Amino acid sequence: MATLIDIADAVVAEMNDHTFSQPVTAQRLYRPVFDLADMKALHVSVVPKGVEMQGASRTVVQHDYQIDVGVQKKLPTSPSGDNAEIDALMALVEEIADFFRQRRLQAMPNAVWVQTQNLPIYSPEHLEQLRQFTSVLTLTFRVLR
């Protein structure tokens, strides 16, 4: 299988084996598209995003594999509880980011965490138009070959 897919599967396995502040069941997907009615439950999607390759030496190539981790949930109909609900989801996103910081994946020990990006930290459009919290972390793991 492709290294990018192996890393994405390892990310899913490690997230599903860990206890976060909220119950998380991650899934590897190519198209994380859901019906809005199903978004009342927390969705954590792991999506292979890309790879950048560059020479590390005369014989070794550095591969930086990017994996997106999406955290999505529809907010309750009452806007009065939005801050508390969003705060909890933002805390979960940060918790996931912290979990992978400096981590070597058990199933892919040669894949070394390099960085995590969370830009933007949430989608204002999803909040406004769908009343749905959406945040995407981009994890980058480096493999030298």
Show Cβ contacts of residue 102 under 8 Å, excluding neighbours closer than 6 positions: 113
Tell me the pLDDT band of 79, cut-offs 50, 70 and 90: low
- Whether 49 has a pLDDT exceeding 70, the answer reads yes
Q: How far apart are CA 142 and CA 14, in angstroms?
A: 17
Strands 26-28 and 43-55: parallel
CA distance readout (Å), 19 to 7, 8, 89, 133: 20, 19, 15, 21
pLDDT in tens, 91-111: 999 999 999 999 999 999 999
Q: How far apart are CA 107 and CA 92, in angstroms?
A: 24
Q: How far apart are CA 122 and CA 108, in angstroms?
A: 29
- Whether 80 has a pLDDT exceeding 90, the answer reads no
* Chosen CATH of 3-144 out of 3.30.70.1230, 3.40.640.10, 3.30.230.10, 3.30.70.1700: 3.30.70.1700
3-class state of residue 4 by DSSP? helix
pLDDT in tens, 107-136: 999 999 999 999 999 999 999 999 999 999
Look up the pTM and report it.
0.94
Tell me the pLDDT band of 78, cut-offs 50, 70 and 90: confident
Question: Is residue 131 within 8 Å of 75, Cβ to Cβ?
Answer: yes
Q: Where do the domains of the chain lie?
A: 3-144
Using only C-alpha atoms, the chain has a radius of gyration, in whole angstroms, of 16
Biggest CA-to-CA distance, the chain? 60
Q: What is the pLDDT of residue 124?
A: 95
Q: What is the pLDDT of residue 1?
A: 75
